[in-house]
Structure 1
């Protein structure tokens, strides 16, 4: 693989010649020392270099690889875990992975299969004698050497998630550490308790793959593969009969029922050199487990002991007591529109496109929002697409609108250049032709604009906290975020800025309000005498309440009169279960996951299905909330993408390469995808990470926000 523009040309004194491959933690390069020695250099991804956990895991990989270097592994030559981008060099092993070998030439014959099993078992015996557990033995981590005298010899590589027996490093990200469908059942249900037996289980699965071309727990996606591993029986297909008893024992559900790697080696040594024809079985195709056979998911980890401590978007909320506050606050409504904030004519956007209609003269476009040469203007991901256009904010521009047909700038509103000690920037809130943004005077207030003309309608002077359009009103936190649990909130008429009501909440949450039905709001009152209250959005009057479920739960979202709570594990920031509560009756149901997920954003709920973006495993999960059962998960090959959106019977997500992917919401299968709107060749991961803003479909046109910029494309056929 040729080098890319941003690849290093030298690492630790080794000249980099080409790429070998890319893994979850880093990139592997072919390098050469000054003396001409060829090595494989693994360099940690930039996005992980400053992550203390990943740096610790990489140190652990180096230690583990050094402890087990021997006849069946690639020995460590050099390493620097403290470098700006940590790296490790191992002896270069010429050959193909088992996955590549089977993909290119089909299943192994008996001689090659017997040798593979014997050398893998011996490799695991040496690894386990060094008190290391590999934890990710799979076909792509098994190298088959090529060359005279070594053809077919086995090397085990990639100790990236291995664990030394005396290591104190523990996974804190919530990632599923391993690769379904080659993982042992306990890796899903008890990930911190794995031992050498998980490698024996994986050995059995790898042997089935080598003999048949498929895993014994193969399924349409990783989620179902995990379910099959925990609950199903292995599909052995055309595995030769002499291997079946041994492989079956390796694939036992309970670790104690599996042989040790040394015992596997002994039993393999007793197998015949030749396989009689009458003992062969016809090759069977891997079975596909339909979604309808799912029953109960795997047992989740135990109840958490304390709340996750984090500043991520999904922060755990404490409850609050709702109190009426007397007296006025220093919030001023301004209905003027000073010329100092207007850069272009307001009438430029008067010919707005009706919602749902394709803009006249539309063609696919993209806009990188690059600054003018004489103006330092740098837009981040603070953009919100709408049928009226794409509205963006930055530290230099209070608000601008991109034309929905061309992507060109219709108008801009300048940001004050006044120097302030701090300045926050939120994505514009757009609702029914109105746009709400951080105020142009840099006071941390709120400005309301007419999205069609660009005319400013009113202003709330700051400093203020978060704001959102809910229940037909604009709800604003009147206090800045701070150490106090007490904060004031007010509701305003969106078009005029008239204050409708004001209340005080004793809460650690910055966003305790949620959309309710027909002009109502839900307020999270946990921690005080109340539960979840329903309020009249225009008067603030309490209409009723229900007691919330007990425990360290986060109210993730409210949809159609139903509350969805995430339960945090220990201090990991991941969730093993969701609780679903009817806010009319107060009845609560629980949904368990087969592994712990790390949600990056509130779930998307449509009908009886909940879609969760699992950031830790880079997948989208779909669950039937009515029956409390999993439906599907997206392929892990999709990697990172934006939060999902539901439009006209499809799910849409923005991909890092600036394409938009359409999925069938019932099966998770790809319907199609658009071509990338930007040339992303050579861009770093950070540059390609999509915005949290999901794609918008309006009039057969898709609008997306990504690291490289904003774009508009035709919907997937």
Structure 2
């Protein structure tokens, strides 16, 4: 990766040669010592250099990494945590991360899989002997040397018998007996590779959490998926705590060992030494019954940052639709968000629980007349002026806890002008009155005795109807009238996902799998009549996006496979007839089509497979004209950016901030403070941005300056800790607050609520 103009020439006497990657907290460079030794230098981002909390964490990382030695970790060469920009140099390991290797070449074969397990177990043995717990062992923190045999070189990484594996990034590790507390702003782990106790008792974790991660990594390396794969980190956490792992095509010989590593109780897991003993006794080849069962790797060429290749959506470990195991049956998760999120499987930090229902509501031109009135949602500019609707009072409804009383139940809610709509494992759909929060009506599962499971999805609204997924039979889509709750029609499944776009319901038919060819169909939202059906070949997880004037855009980009040509086409269709109206070529490079707004496509570029981005490309999807925008630092755009007028607002969920950019000038406008801790996707009304906070309050921010205007009181408080306490085990909400006629509606882990928007500058405008 080439250097940028503002990159340093040297750090601590090490000459910088190129960038290796960029993360949410820093940049990693390839550098040389005075003697010519290659090292990897990690430099903290400028905005964290003055943060005492982060400096303490960085000192802890350096200390932990220095304590660890062995053939399968990258040793620390030098460090200066007290420098103006803290840095650490480790031996350079020339290779890919396990995530990059699996994404580019597919699952590992048996010899490499067995060897990976043994070398990871040896690495954990040495880490634990140093009384360090890694706590974040995942595919992007495991490096594989360029040569699987481990060839030597001048990098100090080992060779010959040095192995092919290196464990890196001790950024959240700690001494096994340390009493270091979880600090605000940093997430301790990465679902779905975290152990159950990291969710239920995060301050009491020990070495067994790394053994659990080892088991999950073996499943990932063998199948391309985590054993607890899910659409978002909340579901991954829930499945980790409650469900059995999905082992897929994991070779039979490894299953007993992996299941013991993935035991729910830490006491039931083996030690790294015991893992080594079991692996050593396994045969050099899998049994004939399992031989050849690993899926073939797709023929992909690794992207080159200097020479952009034909673009495709990076899939990482998410090569098929996430599934939730319920009893004897599994059902594909179906949400409006699936096609809108990057399916990289690279960074699963705090969750994005909701879908993009708010974006669909605003972006597709659905009328938002409140409570049957005639005032459109766009009539109000910014904060409340006309007061709240007659009869409204603030309300909140707490989410029910699961059967263990530990985590919220998997109820999923969408606020809308016509009500707050929720689905759950026991109820197909519930409408709450937006004035009172009370239940207006409930629609049960149609044939509960025939349903052995239910995949909860955010209700999707459009054209006066509500669409939900039902697990009845083989699964399907149910449509209800948004006001009366009358069932309008049902589309039997299976279906991978559905979205309301440009006035029609677009359904991805069948279960989403590894095949690039899928069938999409559009339906009239009120009658359920099929309008058109197309077979689509694309690498995108969800191909269609809403366009202006009743059009749809389809991401038809496809990497070449086995001699077949690829495609770089973004096509335009008539939403009602399905007729193709035109096409343009997408920008080159490894890009994710994050969103489409007013006929323009917004593409995020990944930083060398790191899961973060520091550049967007904006393309007119009619003329094909492209321009780029650089971010002031690398962000993690796990959800689509919000585009309003000449500004783009992006929720950087790793740092819990909102970044605003001026699209005309291509410059950043402002960013919220990390100490503020934005805890949801944002929404914008007029010149005010709204977001929820960790304590379930709502904050209003001036879109021109980024300054806080006011903040509501929290809607939920813990009686045992009324001041809020630690929120590090909570998940940011993927559902943005909805502002309608002086009222703000929000969805958090704690439940749903409504609060009054405060008049600008009015009494109590800021706590």
TM-score (norm 1): 0.54
For residue 412 of structure 1, what is the aligned residue in structure 2? 442
2-structure distance, mates of 1:700, 1:562: 31
Cα distance, 1:552 vs structure 2: 1.1
1-structure distance, mates of 2:97, 2:58: 9
For residue 734 of structure 2, what is the aligned residue in structure 1? 692
- Specify the SS of the correspondent of 1:406: coil
Residue by residue over 1:506-527, the C-alpha shift from the partner in whole angstroms, topping out at 9 and shown as x without a partner, is 1232311111111111111222
Cα distance, 1:672 vs structure 2: 1.0
1:598-637 pair list within 5 angstroms: 598-637=636-675
Structure 1 position 678 matched with structure 2 position 603: no
For residue 458 of structure 2, what is the aligned residue in structure 1? 427
- Specify the SS of the correspondent of 1:613: strand
Match of 1:314 among 341, 348, 351: 341
Given that 2:451 and 2:473 are in contact with CA atoms closer than 8 Å, whether structure 1 keeps it comes out as yes
2-structure distance, mates of 1:569, 1:377: 34
1-structure distance, mates of 2:630, 2:402: 52
Given that 2:308 and 2:588 are in contact with CA atoms closer than 8 Å, whether structure 1 keeps it comes out as no
2-structure distance, mates of 1:636, 1:170: 31
For residue 52 of structure 2, what is the aligned residue in structure 1? none
Cα distance, 1:621 vs structure 2: 0.9
Cα distance, 1:170 vs structure 2: 11
For residue 743 of structure 2, what is the aligned residue in structure 1? 701
Given that 1:649 and 1:665 are in contact with CA atoms closer than 8 Å, whether structure 2 keeps it comes out as yes
Given that 1:418 and 1:442 are in contact with CA atoms closer than 8 Å, whether structure 2 keeps it comes out as no
Residue by residue over 1:191-246, the C-alpha shift from the partner in whole angstroms, topping out at 9 and shown as x without a partner, is xxxxxxxxxxxxxxxxxxxxxxxxxxxxxxxxxxxxxxxxxxxxxxxxxxxxxxxx
Cα distance, 1:643 vs structure 2: 0.7
1:374-523 pair list within 5 angstroms: 379-380=409-410, 382-415=412-445, 416-418=447-449, 423-439=454-470, 441=472, 443-523=474-554
Residue by residue over 1:625-679, the C-alpha shift from the partner in whole angstroms, topping out at 9 and shown as x without a partner, is 1221111111111224111111132111111110111111111111111110000
Give the CA RMSD over aligned residues. 3.8
1:214-253 pair list within 5 angstroms: none
- Specify the SS of the correspondent of 1:63: helix
Cα distance, 1:430 vs structure 2: 1.4
**Compared CA separation, residues 315 and 542, structure 1 to 2 (3 A):** same
2-structure distance, mates of 1:708, 1:376: 12
- Specify the SS of the correspondent of 1:399: strand
Which consecutive unaligned segments of at least 5 residues does structure 2 have? 1-23, 26-56, 69-75, 100-304, 319-337, 345-369, 378-386, 559-565, 760-767
Cα distance, 1:597 vs structure 2: 1.3
Match of 1:594 among 628, 632, 643: 632
1-structure distance, mates of 2:670, 2:697: 22
2-structure distance, mates of 1:505, 1:57: 47
> Which structure has the larger Rg?
1
- Specify the SS of the correspondent of 2:495: coil
Cα distance, 1:408 vs structure 2: 1.3
Cα distance, 1:64 vs structure 2: 5.0
**Compared CA separation, residues 377 and 691, structure 1 to 2 (3 A):** closer
Match of 1:710 among 740, 743, 752: 752
For residue 165 of structure 2, what is the aligned residue in structure 1? none
TM-score (norm 2): 0.50
Q: Count residues with an aligned counterpart.
A: 425
Residue by residue over 1:2-26, the C-alpha shift from the partner in whole angstroms, topping out at 9 and shown as x without a partner, is xxxxxxxxxxxxxxxxxxxxxx99x
Cα distance, 1:494 vs structure 2: 0.3
Cα distance, 1:57 vs structure 2: 8.8
For residue 237 of structure 2, what is the aligned residue in structure 1? none
Residue by residue over 1:349-396, the C-alpha shift from the partner in whole angstroms, topping out at 9 and shown as x without a partner, is x986766595431100100143799x9996436110012211011111
Q: Give the stretch that moved more between structures: 618-627 or 511-520.
A: 618-627
2-structure distance, mates of 1:443, 1:487: 18
